[in-house]
């Protein structure tokens, strides 16, 4: 969240163009009143309870008075300089009547919950509260990000997922930065590490920064479903809600899609969007997230044929998304005007109002692809029919269609076709006995034999016969 006297701007850059810093929001600090069931930090007349069977690491910043304290079976206090506890004799005049207050359970906090992270471009921006907006997948640490747990705090996080490991660039705990796997593994084996981290997936430390100026994939698409399981989507009132790639919920706003070529630099483009548009007063409520995504390609608009990288610019500004559409049009117009110098080959947008930079381009392209495919199929069928009828003659050097058809005497299994039992009388012409009046002779054609079989003439129904016995 970038603050200035006149505006509040949200912006996100894909974590690959320069690693972002993702900071874990919850803590298990004693002084944080939200960690207590009574929503107040205990004082001298209170009885303090920690869940007996829960693991917890509690950071204590100062000295605290208590009436009584019940500790967990497995836990620790991390005491800042000068911090500690003491028991009050009698009543603490500034505490009230005294209550029994319990420390909240922190074991249900999931790594892949996007609401539990804050993103910033630098460590200083984290300290100043200049947080960035992004799609849900990129709200959780990406494979090139620096993960930060606040210096003077403790925590407990569950890293369980369907993947064996969670790759990140580095992890900072209690002010110490770990950027090598061996060093961090040593910390995880410590008492504090065991109480702060749990779960089936191990953090993999030491990823290098992305070397692609156009950005790199965040890497969280494999965890999309788990990320979305902890997201609650709001009901929307806009005409045509949009679903950005990497997001769990439909939004009211606009999505700009930018196609690029060699020479495109995501960092440079981010700065351009900021200086040209986001500094303007009319865009002071805009939330804008930029990501490198991979769009499915379809042959003739129907058949899947791989993916291609694109830059997705998500713009939201409120319930209707009207202002988002205005900014989207400005961004597309700028891309069309200065695309060659920026390495941009094309740009288009969709808005939740139903508008787009090409109202019919997408659907028309799809229809054209389907029609084209159908015409090709019809043409092939007509050609095959004409060849079989002899209207079209294939060159003698090409095999005929009949060569691709199996012989009628061969089964699908490759063996000879079974015609049933042999009849020695009719299977061979020379074996027919010479019985007058019954079998075929030169003057009696009651039976005729051809290559297709034996044919009988019934004199009862023969129109040429007038008498019969």
pLDDT per position as a tens digit, 89-140: 888 888 988 999 999 988 889 999 999 999 998 899 999 998 999 999 999 9
Q: Which fold is adopted by the domain 232-351?
A: Alpha-Beta Plaits (3.30.70)
pLDDT of 264 reads 96
Residue boundaries of the structural domains of the chain:
14-212, 232-351
pLDDT at 439: 46
Residue 360, pLDDT above cutoff 70 = no
* pLDDT of 432 higher than 90: no
pLDDT at 397: 58
pLDDT tens sequence across 196-246: 999 999 999 988 888 899 999 999 999 999 999 999 999 998 989 999 999
Mean pLDDT of the 258-279 span: 93
Average pLDDT, the chain: 82
- pLDDT at position 96 is 84
Say whether pLDDT at 14 is over 50: no
38-72: pLDDT as tens digits: 999 999 999 999 999 899 999 999 999 999 999 99
pLDDT of residue 460: 53
Residue 403 banded pLDDT, cuts 50, 70, 90:
low
- Could you report the per-residue pLDDT of 66-81, keeping only the tens digit for each? 999 999 999 999 999 9
Residue 364 above 50 pLDDT?
no
Average pLDDT of 254-283? 93
386: pLDDT confidence band, cut at 50, 70 and 90?
confident
pLDDT for 9 = 36
Residue 354 has a pLDDT of: 86
What percent of the chain stands above pLDDT 90? 58
pLDDT band at 382 (very low <50, low <70, confident <90, very high): confident
Mean per-residue pLDDT, 145-163: 96
Q: Please tell me which residue, 389 or 174, carries the higher pLDDT value.
A: 174
CA distance 302 to 294: 17
- Is the pLDDT at 399 greater than 90? The verdict is no
Find the mean pLDDT for residues 239-265: 95
Q: What is the mean pLDDT of residues 8-18?
A: 39
Q: How confident is the model at residue 402 (pLDDT cuts 50, 70, 90)?
A: low
């Amino acid at each position: 969240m970038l603050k200035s006297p006149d505006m509040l701007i949200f912006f996100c850059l894909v974590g690959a163009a320069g690693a972002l810093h993702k900071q874990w929001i919850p803590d298990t600090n004693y002084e944080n009143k939200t960690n207590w069931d009574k929503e107040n930090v205990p004082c001298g007349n209170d009885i303090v309870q920690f869940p007996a069977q829960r693991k917890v690491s509690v950071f204590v910043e100062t000295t605290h008075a208590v009436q009584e304290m019940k500790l967990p079976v497995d836990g620790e206090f991390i005491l800042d300089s000068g911090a500690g506890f003491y028991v009050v004799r009698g009543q603490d005049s500034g505490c009230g009547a005294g209550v029994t207050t319990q420390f909240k359970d922190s074991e249900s906090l999931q790594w892949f919950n996007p609401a539990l992270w804050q993103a910033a471009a630098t460590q200083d921006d984290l300290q100043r509260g200049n947080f960035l907006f992004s799609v849900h997948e990129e709200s959780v640490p990406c494979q090139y990000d620096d993960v930060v747990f606040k210096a003077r705090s403790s925590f407990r996080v569950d890293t369980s997922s369907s993947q064996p490991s969670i790759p990140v660039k580095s992890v900072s705990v209690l002010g110490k930065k770990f950027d090598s796997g061996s060093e961090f593994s040593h910390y995880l084996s410590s008492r504090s590490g065991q109480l702060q981290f749990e779960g089936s997936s191990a953090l993999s430390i030491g990823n290098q920064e992305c070397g692609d100026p156009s950005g790199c994939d965040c890497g969280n698409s494999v965890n999309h479903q788990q990320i979305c399981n902890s997201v609650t989507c709001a009901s929307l009132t806009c005409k045509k809600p949009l679903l950005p790639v990497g997001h769990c919920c439909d939004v009211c706003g606009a999505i700009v899609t930018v196609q690029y070529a060699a020479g495109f630099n995501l960092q440079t483009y981010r700065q351009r969007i900021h200086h040209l548009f986001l500094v303007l007063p009319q865009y002071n409520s805009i939330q804008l997230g930029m990501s490198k995504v991979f769009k499915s390609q379809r042959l003739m608009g129907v058949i899947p044929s791989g993916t291609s990288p694109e830059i997705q610019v998500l713009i939201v500004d409120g319930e209707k998304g009207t202002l988002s559409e205005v900014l989207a049009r400005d961004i597309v117009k700028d891309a069309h005007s200065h695309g060659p110098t920026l390495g941009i080959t094309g740009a288009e947008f969709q808005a939740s109002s139903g508008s787009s930079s090409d109202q019919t381009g997408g659907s028309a392209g799809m229809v054209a692809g389907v029609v084209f495919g159908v015409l090709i199929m019809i043409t092939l069928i007509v050609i095959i029919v004409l060849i079989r009828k002899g209207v079209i003659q294939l060159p003698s050097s090409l095999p005929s269609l009949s060569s691709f058809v199996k012989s009628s005497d061969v089964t699908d299994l490759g063996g000879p076709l079974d015609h049933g039992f042999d009849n020695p009388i009719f299977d061979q012409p020379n074996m027919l006995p010479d019985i007058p009046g019954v079998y075929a002779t030169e003057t009696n054609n009651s039976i005729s034999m051809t290559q297709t079989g034996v044919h009988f003439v019934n004199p009862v129904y023969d129109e040429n016969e007038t008498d019969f016995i």
